[in-house]
């Protein structure tokens, strides 16, 4: 990708980004209202009751404090009753969009050979995750270059873990190709645990590519996630196939 046109977001992708940002506003708004409510109650509690009788501005201060406390309390109550429900619906929409786009793109994407598996897969991801395309667009605007794939090696004890990383809004989109070997549960769990320990909350998504995964992995998949999205993708002779796509929404 070298031109601005190739990283323009479609209407659907813009709606996805908007919905995701809107979804994040709910907990932030609730936190803000809690702070305002606590401060208002603190002001009211620390008022000098003796001076209130003689201070002509005191009744306005009392009224102001009561109004702010009432608004904050009502907002918190609304969030508890309705906001949480709407937030859940938004997350379901985001999850469905990601899964539908992911499986569709996997079915349409091919790769040429093992030497460029990660590159071919990442190109596909640009059509799945609008955040990647948006980050490309911002990078192009600031540096005249789109985001690049960065190879990173984690040295843990006597093992080296080679990762391919793309930084998206200060979060890491991590891709690991395990090659031709059959990946068993213990191997995958160790890898995800190390990546989670290294990057933790800064993880956008962890994608594991392999020619084959042990059947036990699906049965124990939930123990692999560590509250981060982990996708298991099978590399076929000509393309890709989704074994398990995480339902986790950042």
> Does 72 share its domain with 124?
no
**How many CB atoms neighbour CB 236 within 10 A?**
12
Q: What is the 3-state secondary structure (H, E, C) of 48-85?
A: CHHHHCCCCCHHHHHHHHHHHHHHHHHHHHHHHHHHHH
Does residue 117 sit within a domain? yes
Q: Residue 47: its pLDDT value, please?
A: 54
Same domain, 152 and 232: yes
Q: What's phi and psi for 45, nearest 5 deg? A: -70, -35
Residues 15 and 73 in one domain: yes
Model pLDDT, residue 154: 86
Please give the pLDDT value at position 212.
93
Predicted local distance difference test score (pLDDT) of residue 1:
39
- Torsion, Cα 169 223 128 233, to 10 degrees, reads 130
Q: Is 107 within a domain? A: no
Rounded Cα distance, 239 and 163, in Å: 21
Q: Are 164 and 151 in contact (CB under 8 A)?
A: yes
Judge whether 249 lies within some domain: no
Domain CATH code at residue 173: 3.40.1350
Q: What pLDDT is recorded for position 51? A: 52
Sequence-distant (6+) residues with CB within 8 A of 216 are 184, 185
- Residue 152 resides in a domain: yes
SS3 97: helix
Other CB atoms within 10 A of residue 10 CB: 11
Q: Is residue 159 part of a domain?
A: yes
Q: Residue 143 belongs to what domain range?
A: 113-244
Phi, psi of 42, rounded to the nearest 5 degrees: -65, -40
Q: Determine the Cα–Cα distance for residues 145 and 7; give it in Å rounded to an integer.
A: 11
One digit per residue, the tens of pLDDT, for the chain of length 250 reads 334 455 666 656 766 665 666 566 556 666 666 666 566 656 555 555 445 444 554 566 666 667 766 776 676 676 666 666 766 777 787 788 888 889 999 989 988 776 789 999 999 998 898 888 888 888 888 888 888 889 988 887 778 888 999 988 889 999 999 987 889 999 999 999 999 999 988 999 999 999 999 988 998 998 887 789 999 999 998 899 999 999 887 6
Are 90 and 156 members of one domain? no
What is the total count of domains within the chain?
2
- Confidence (pLDDT) at 60: 60
Choose the final residue of a domain: 98, 127, 157.
Answer: 98
Distance from C-alpha of 29 to C-alpha of 80, rounded to nearest angstrom:
12
pLDDT of 181 reads 80
């Amino acid at each position: 990708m070298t031109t601005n046109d190739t990283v323009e977001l479609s209407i659907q992708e813009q709606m996805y980004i908007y919905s995701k940002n809107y979804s994040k506003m709910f907990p932030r708004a609730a936190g803000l209202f809690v702070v305002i409510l606590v401060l208002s109650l603190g002001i009211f509690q620390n008022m000098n009751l003796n001076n209130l009788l003689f201070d002509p501005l005191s009744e306005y201060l009392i009224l102001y404090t009561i109004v702010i406390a009432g608004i904050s309390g009502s907002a918190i109550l609304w969030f508890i009753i309705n906001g949480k429900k709407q937030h859940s619906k938004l997350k379901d929409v985001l999850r469905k969009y990601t899964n539908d786009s992911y499986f569709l793109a996997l079915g349409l994407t091919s790769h040429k050979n093992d030497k460029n598996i990660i590159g071919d897969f990442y190109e596909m991801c640009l059509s799945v995750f609008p955040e990647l395309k948006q980050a490309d667009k911002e990078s192009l605007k600031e540096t005249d270059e789109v985001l690049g794939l960065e190879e990173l090696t984690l040295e843990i004890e006597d093992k080296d873990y080679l990762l391919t990383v793309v930084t998206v809004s200060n979060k890491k989109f991590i891709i690991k190709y395990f090659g031709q070997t059959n990946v068993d549960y213990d191997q995958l769990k160790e890898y995800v645990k190390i990546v989670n320990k290294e990057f933790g909350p800064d993880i956008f998504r962890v994608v594991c590519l392999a020619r084959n995964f042990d059947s036990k992995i699906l049965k124990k998949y939930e123990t692999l996630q560590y509250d981060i999205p982990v996708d298991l993708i099978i590399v076929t002779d000509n393309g890709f196939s989704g074994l398990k796509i995480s339902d986790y929404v950042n």
